[in-house]
Structure 1
Amino acid sequence: MATALAANAAGSDTEAERLDVFAGIRRYLNDKDIPALVDMIMDCAERDPVLFRGLETATLATYGDEATLVARLGKMIDAATATNGFVDYSEAADWARGVDEALDLITALSSKHAGIVMGLAMRAIDRIESAIDDMDDSDGHCGALLDRACEMHRTAAQASPRDPLSLARDLFARETNGKYDVFAGAAGLYGDILGEDGLAEYRRLANEAWDKLPATVGKNRAGMGPPMDHFRLREILDFFAERDGDVEARIALRAKHLASQGSYLQIAKFCLSQGRVEEALRWVEDGLWMFEDDRPDEQLIALAVELLSKAGRDGDAEAHLWHAFEKAPSFELYQLLCKAAGTSAHDKAIERLQSRLMRGKAATWHFPADLLISILIEEKQFETAWLTVHEYGASEGLKQQLAQASEATHPREALKVYAARVDQMAQLGGDGSYAEAAALIGRMAYLRGASEHSAYLADVKTRFGRKRNFTKLLA
């Protein structure tokens, strides 16, 4: 406490002295004439490149012509954003700091140069986007710089008396062709600047481009999703349709490209968000019918079951679930079946999985019985689960799960799994592995007699005696 009080006292004195120093410096400078102050600033500028560039820009903005100002600041942007090869992670922050300083110079320009700022901001955006491919930007410096440059452009646009139709065309081109979506949602962000005339032009351009895109309904055999311009144009037109409160138009936008189960899911969810439950169900059923031969989308199935159940069509919901379970069984589908069909679904699902295993070919790269074993664990059918493990194998994690779940009924099986895991962790080495192995050995002590466990423990110490950090944990 005494030390803290002394430090606080010293800090207070230091702060007071600092304020006195600043006050003295201000008084000293106020007594100087302008030429002397100019000499002092020039002396600082010769040694401080940031101050020098700031004064140079201010001079050009005040006394120079616009062409010279644009050329000089353009060169500054180009120099700051140049990568000169690959910029690695350790250099990225310094590179970004240099770009930030260049943007500072542009931001310092007065509102009378708003048109220049708009052009320079666009130049900076282009250069930063080009630099992204030549650097390790794991910390997201470029994203922050792009956001700043975009905000500079918007602020300058508010002060610039630019033709709204021309601005709309430029922004539309940027939003639809940009690589990093810097101008995504531009119609909304620039709405107050564009005005009704500019927004009308923006909408006209989007509609014109949208009408040229082909509609897609059904599976895309080439395996390709819609092009990027489809999503961008849809977002633009959806903004205007939402602005108008036109739900029909918003649904039509989503219905133009339905080449996947996910697209049907999206349009159904949108209908639900608008309170159109029956329409949502129609879209869900259309999607299930269109892709009935494909691997089912579990989210689409789940939504179908929910809506069909609410509509009192439980039989249809169960039929869709069994169809999906036959094609691509999963634990999630099993849970949905049990919820929809009750206890009768438990045994039926297990029988179908057992039959599927017996018909299937042996595989060495995965464990086809894992799903069945997971369900048997869920249903506490441990004897059948262990028989399945012995016959078809199981992943290591699932065997551990089964061992823990069935310790009370099948301690010997659990002990075998734990012992194998102990050996694996001891051989792997490392404090974490040793701690896991030691914890398992402690767990094993409760599953057998003391003499048997002592013998096992002695054997482990003998086999892994050289691993001293491990054996210390077993003391």
Structure 2
Amino acid sequence: MGGLTEAKLRALAGERSFERGRGYVDEVSGVEFGDGWIRASVRGTERYDVELVLAGRRKPTGTCDCPYGQEGNFCKHLVALGLTAIAQEADLPRRRKAARDRTRGLDAWLIGLSRDGLLALVREEMAEDRNLRRRLELRAASASGDLAEIRSRIRELLDIGPFAQYGYVEYADARAYAGQAGQAVTAIRSLTTSGRAADATALAREAIGLLAEVAENVDDSDGRLGEIGTGLADAHHEASRAAGPDPEELAHWLVTHALDDAADLTDIDPLDYEDLLGERGMAALRGRAVEAWKANRTGWAEKHLMQRLAKAGRDIDTMIAVHAADLAPNRHTHLLIARELDAADGAAEALEWAERGIREAEDLATVDTSLIDYLADRYTRTGRPADAVTLRRDHFAARRSLLTYQQLRAAARAAACWQTEREKVLALLRADAKRGHAHSGRVLVDILLDDKDVDAAWRTVGEYGAHDGQWLTLADQSRPTRPADALAVYRRLAARLTRETGNHAYEQLVSLLLSIRDCHRRLGTPGDFTAYVTDLRAIQKRKRNLMRLMDDRGL
């Protein structure tokens, strides 16, 4: 059995899937052994088909059609099958021989049937298995060349009716529906290989449309409809290549499809057909795309198609025109245009578009910060540090935060004017705070802490207050020079945490206790800390995890 062991299964699946797989061993049924493979069904959320491949000295591989397995993972269902196989290893030679004997016996029986007997058998099986009947009907229609019949069968395959309750296919039935619908891809490809590529092209387009119509009524959490859509797209491409369609007609369909809801299912890229379209077809493609965009300049699909064609053709003017026709209120579109112009060596125009985005903004606080960063960087790199400072100053005034302050600080230092700018910022925030703007007071505290201006920070928190995170940062910064002040903060924060439970709160409390101990050491009062911890332990003794953490840290 290729040396299959529990250790190998654990290594392949990982600890979590391996342990979960143990619980599914009793759900394994229908085990089949062959030369180098083991197959079975495993019942989970639904029944899944599972196969293990044992490749001699190489590590085993496996497939499972559960969602996790379809992503290429060695899932819990594979673990369950592997554990089942290990348990039955002693019986493996007999099982393999029995499987070979059954196969030979079945072949011999089928060969011995008369024509009428074989026909009766197939009819009997078709009556029991609807999917088998449909597959054979498709083959018969393809063999007879009856396009109308093939179209009818494909429509049946894509019909959600047999699987839907109240017009919607629930998750439990979606897999079965996808399995049926996937047969349409096989049928279309078989038409192409049998020399009927033009018919295959037409049916692929029709099937794509039908799938798009029902997609919103199917719970496709596992993405199976997307796989079918991709399959239909590939079948269309193969058929088109074999048929050699009219370039203008193909261009018209590609544009129509790109603007349709079905495009989300198939992800067809019109440029994949460029060699089939040729110059005439590409000209028609571009022309129809422009017509569609002019009719709806703000449509996402229309813009995406135009941008795709423009980028492929290195048509920077068209790219800019598409962006400029639908400028975003936050000026992000101006940034996109600037970057496109940069890539096309149009630095002057790029700067003009970026500046225009700032200039036309009613409120700098609503502007995409990436545009601010782009323009400030451009000013710095082109020897315009004063303009970078002005931009950062205006942005800070509009959006007062620690980040915009830090950005202003960096620009002003580069322009050798930081001290002046800093005084203006602090004066602005203090004036706001005095008018009752609490946000400005908190930002002022953040700024002073970021600048390590501890004394000013103490004055500010005393006047305007602070939140616990700011108090903690201030205490941490003050501990070397103002241990008594820091100690008062730590003890107040610790008192709050003693009323909480949970490991996170305990870890925070222990961290504060270490800081409190350091403050007492600096103050020369270690005895006071010992008394504090003794009292704390007596009160909190029922919190075993807290006691353990304190023991680990020597508290």
* Code of the aligned partner of 1:116: L
Give the Cα separation in 2 of the matches to 1:86 and 1:451: 77
Using a 3 Å threshold, how does the CA distance of structure 1 residues 441 and 151 change in structure 2: closer, same or farther? Answer: farther
CA separation in 1, counterparts of 2:535 and 2:112?
Answer: 92
What amino acid is the match of 1:282?
E
- 2:181 maps to amino acid: L
The equivalent position to 1:200 in structure 2, one of 272, 283, 289, is: 283
Between stretches 8-17 and 150-159, larger displacement belongs to: 8-17
Match of 2:530 in 1: 454
Q: 1:138 to 1:436 in 2, by over 3 A?
A: farther
- Aligned-partner residue type, residue 217 of structure 2: A
Tell me how far apart the structure 2 counterparts of residues 357 and 50 of structure 1 sit (CA, whole Å).
77
Alignment match of 2:467 (pick from 390, 395, 419): 395
Displacement of 1:106: 1.0
Aligned residue among 51, 57, 60 for 2:138: 57
Superposed displacement of residue 376, structure 1: 1.8
RMSD: 3.8
8 Å contact kept, 1:60–1:69: yes
Task: Tell me the CA shift for residue 263 of structure 1.
Answer: 1.2
Identity %: 25
1:127 and 2:214 equivalent?
A: yes
Q: Which amino acid aligns with 2:147?
A: E
Q: 1:356 aligns with which of 429, 432, 435?
A: 429
Match of 2:401 among 330, 336, 345: 330
Please show how residues 189-228 of structure 1 align to structure 2 within 5 Å.
189-212=272-295, 227=298
Q: Which moved more, 1:233-242 or 1:141-150?
A: 141-150
Letter paired with 1:308: Y
1:129-148 alignment runs, 5 A limit:
130-131=216-217, 135=219, 140=223, 143-148=226-231
Greater shift in the superposed pair: 291-300 or 97-106: 291-300
Note if 1:379 corresponds to 2:448: no
Matched, 1:102 2:180: yes
TM-score, normalization by structure 2: 0.69
Give 1:176's aligned amino acid: L
Decide which moves more: 231-240 or 200-209: 231-240
CA distance in 1, matches of 2:248, 2:146: 28
Q: Which deviates further from its counterpart, 138-147 or 107-116?
A: 138-147
Counterpart of 1:370 in structure 2 is 442
Paired with 1:412 and 1:141, the residues of 2 have a C-alpha distance of 65
Q: How does 1:48-87 map to 2 (within 5 A)?
A: 48-63=129-144, 65-79=146-160, 83-84=164-165
Secondary structure at the residue paired with 1:329? Answer: coil
* Contact kept in structure 2, 1:118 and 1:152, CA below 8 Å: no
Aligned-residue offset at 1:123: 0.8
Is 1:234–2:303 an aligned residue pair? yes
Q: 2:252 aligns with which of 169, 181, 185?
A: 169
Q: Is the 8 A contact 1:117 1:153 kept in 2?
A: yes
- SS of 1:99's partner is helix
Distance (whole Å) between structure 2 residues aligned to residue 63 and residue 179 of structure 1 = 31
Alignment match of 2:373 (pick from 280, 286, 302): 302
How far does residue 354 in structure 1 lie from its aligned partner after superposition? 4.2
Question: Which residue, 312, 319, 322 being the options, matches 1:243?
Answer: 312
Tell me what 2:34 maps to.
none
Deviations 1:338-357, CA, capped at 9 Å, x for gaps: 33221642563354244334
Cα–Cα, structure 1 residues 146 and 413, in superposed 2: closer, same or farther, change >3 Å?
Answer: farther
Task: Provide the TM-score with structure 1 as the length reference.
Answer: 0.79
Query: How far did 1:98 drift?
Result: 2.0
Shifted more, 348-357 versus 294-303: the winner is: 348-357
Q: Cα gap change, 1:147/1:293 in structure 2, threshold over 3 Å: closer, same or farther? A: same
| Contact residue 125 and residue 150 of structure 1 kept, 8 A | no
- Contact 1:103/1:149, CA 8 A, preserved across alignment: no
Give the aligned partner of residue 481 of structure 2.
Answer: 409
Report the equivalent of 1:224. Answer: none
The one-letter amino acid of 1:319's match is T
AA of the residue aligned to 2:290: N
**Distance of aligned partners of 1:81 and 1:189 in 2 relative to their CA distance in 1, 3 Å threshold:** farther
- Deviation string 1:127-180 (CA, Å, 9 cap, x unpaired) is 11x226xx4x66555544544444444444444555443343333223224287
Q: Secondary structure at the match of 2:159?
A: helix
Task: Answer 1 or 2: higher relative contact order, Cα 8 Å, separation at least 6.
Answer: 1
Do 2:448 and 2:457's aligned partners in 1 also have CA atoms closer than 8 Å? yes
Report the 3-state secondary structure (helix = DSSP H, G, I; strand = E; otherwise coil) of the residue aligned with 1:178.
coil
Aligned residues: 450
Distance 1:238 1:304 in 2: 24
Q: Unpaired runs of 5+ in structure 2?
A: 9-55, 57-84
The equivalent of 1:445 in structure 2 is 517
Q: Could you list the per-position Cα deviations for residues 257-306 of structure 1 after superposition, in whole angstroms to 9, with x for gaps in the alignment? A: 33432111111111112232222112112222112644243322221122
Letter aligned with residue 383 of structure 1: D
Change (3 A) 1:142 1:312: same
- Aligned partners of 1:276, 1:341: CA distance in 2, in Å? 28
- Give the conservation status (yes or no) of the 8 Å contact 1:267–1:280: yes
User: Could you say which residue in structure 2 is the equivalent of 1:287?
Assistant: 357
1:44-76 Cα deviation digits (max 9, x unpaired):
555555444433433444458433333333233
Asked whether the 8 Å contact 1:57–1:105 carries over to 2, the reply is no
Q: Partner residue of 1:217?
A: none
Worse-matched range after superposition: 369-378 or 457-466: 457-466
Distance 1:20 1:68, change over 3 A: same
Partner SS, residue 249 of structure 2: helix
Matched residue of 1:199: which SS? helix
Q: Which moved more, 1:372-381 or 1:392-401?
A: 392-401
Change beyond 3 A, Cα 1:243–1:266: closer
Q: Which residue of 1 aligns with 2:112?
A: 33
